[in-house]
Structure 1
Amino acid sequence: MNYTTKDIQQRVDHYISQFKEGYFSPLSLQARLTEEVGEMAREINHRYGEKPKKKTEKDKALEEELGDVIFVLTCFANSLDIDMSEAFEQSMSKIESRDKNRWTRKGEGSSYNE
Structure 2
Amino acid sequence: MKMNQTERRFDFHGLGLALKRAGEEKGWTQAYVAELVDRDSRTIMNIENKGQYPSFDLFVKLITMFDVSVDQFIHTDGGVRSSSCRKHIDVLLNSMNEKELFIFRFYE
What's the TM-score, normalizing by structure 2? 0.29
What's the TM-score, normalizing by structure 1? 0.28
